[in-house]
């Protein structure tokens, strides 16, 4: 796919990894719909940076945990830009929920944003892409392939993203390719200290912490790789091969 001049939605693009993904698409000449929920200032900053690179960008607000919001977001983007070629499902929440302390409210909120929303954004995007084709990239997590005792619901949602990626790749072929990325720790949580960061680096085979740019590079590869669909690339410095 030649990305220049085409239209992309990146959900959760106002901060952290989502911003890096949106900036990478803008640098490739895409017109980027920068989705956000509460971080309007961050979305405006992402748009500013994309525009400075010479591409077009507009912010779009939507609470994707609202069941009607995914289709509305896609409709608004298509109305504004006239088409949709790429969807990057990045918006998610990662909440520490030790087993035995998880509440139904936490479970429902996490599944609504992390799993239900990407499915219905993809469903709406597939309709918009039907005539000229396109590509979807879903952001999963290393937790989809490992067991993290304090993040069990989160890991279940991300395992669902991996399965959804494979299923949609089959359902939407040959017009639309669907792939995923499962990052490890490419951005440390805000409350981590230096000792935790050093332990992470020392126990990673590549001996370094990742960065959002590593995830963006994987995304660009998947958009360029026209004969790849249904795959989820793990981007974690080799942590998943330690055992």
Q: What is the pLDDT, as a whole number, of residue 210?
A: 86
Helix (H) or strand (E) holding 215: helix 212-224
SS3 197: helix
Q: What is the pLDDT, as a whole number, of residue 189?
A: 67
The whole-angstrom separation of Cα 176 and Cα 116 is 20
Q: Which domains does the chain have, with CATH numbers?
A: 7-241 (3.40.50.720)
What stretches of 11-151 show up as alpha helix (H) in DSSP?
16-27, 40-52, 69-81, 104-111, 117-129
Q: What is the pLDDT, as a whole number, of residue 192?
A: 66
pTM: 0.94
Q: What is the pLDDT, as a whole number, of residue 82?
A: 97
Tokens 């936490």 sit on residue:
106
CA pseudo-torsion sign 216, 14, 23, 69: positive
pLDDT tens, position by position, 177-218: 999 999 998 877 666 667 777 888 888 888 888 899 999 999
Average pLDDT of each block of 10 consecutive residues along the chain (243 residues)?
95 95 98 96 97 97 97 98 98 90 95 98 97 96 89 95 98 98 82 74 84 96 98 92 77
């Amino acid at each position: 796919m030649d990305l220049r001049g085409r239209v992309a939605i990146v959900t959760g693009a106002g901060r952290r990894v989502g911003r890096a993904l949106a900036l990478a698409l803008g640098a490739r000449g895409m017109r980027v719909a920068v989705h956000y929920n509460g971080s309007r200032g961050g979305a405006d900053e992402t748009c500013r940076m994309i525009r400075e690179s010479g591409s077009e960008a507009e912010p779009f607000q939507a609470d994707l945990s609202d069941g009607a919001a995914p289709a509305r977001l896609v409709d608004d983007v298509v109305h504004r830009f006239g088409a949709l070629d790429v969807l990057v499902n990045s918006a998610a929440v990662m909440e520490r929920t030790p087993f035995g302390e998880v509440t139904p409210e936490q479970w429902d909120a996490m599944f609504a944003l992390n799993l239900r929303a990407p499915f219905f954004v993809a469903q709406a995007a597939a309709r918009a892409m039907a005539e000229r084709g396109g590509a979807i990239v879903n952001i999963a997590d290393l937790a989809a392939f490992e067991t993290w005792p304090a993040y069990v619901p989160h890991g279940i949602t991300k395992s669902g993203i991996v399965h959804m990626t494979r299923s949609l790749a089959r359902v939407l072929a040959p017009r639309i390719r669907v792939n995923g990325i499962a990052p490890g720790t490419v951005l440390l949580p805000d409350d981590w200290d230096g000792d935790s960061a050093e332990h992470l680096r020392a126990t990673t085979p590549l001996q370094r912490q990742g960065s959002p740019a590593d995830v963006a590079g994987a995304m660009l590869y998947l958009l360029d790789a026209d004969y790849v669909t249904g795959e989820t690339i793990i981007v974690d410095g080799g942590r998943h091969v330690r055992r």
